[in-house]
Amino acid sequence: MGGHLRYNYDFFTSYCCSFEFGRYHYITFLSVTR
């Protein structure tokens, strides 16, 4: 059960990180093209 929780935690963290990363580059893209 602990391993399953660990897997979910890693998946959740990587998802949040990729979301923040994508949002940052999206804002940068908008500011550059403007």
Here the tokens at position 25 are 């580059």
Here the tokens at position 9 are 């935690």
Q: What is the DSSP letter of 1?
A: -
Q: Which whole number is the average pLDDT over 2-21?
A: 70
pTM for this prediction: 0.34
pLDDT recorded at residue 14: 77
pLDDT recorded at residue 3: 56
| Residue 32 pLDDT greater than 60, yes or no | yes
pLDDT recorded at residue 1: 47
Q: Which whole number is the average pLDDT over 3-31?
A: 75
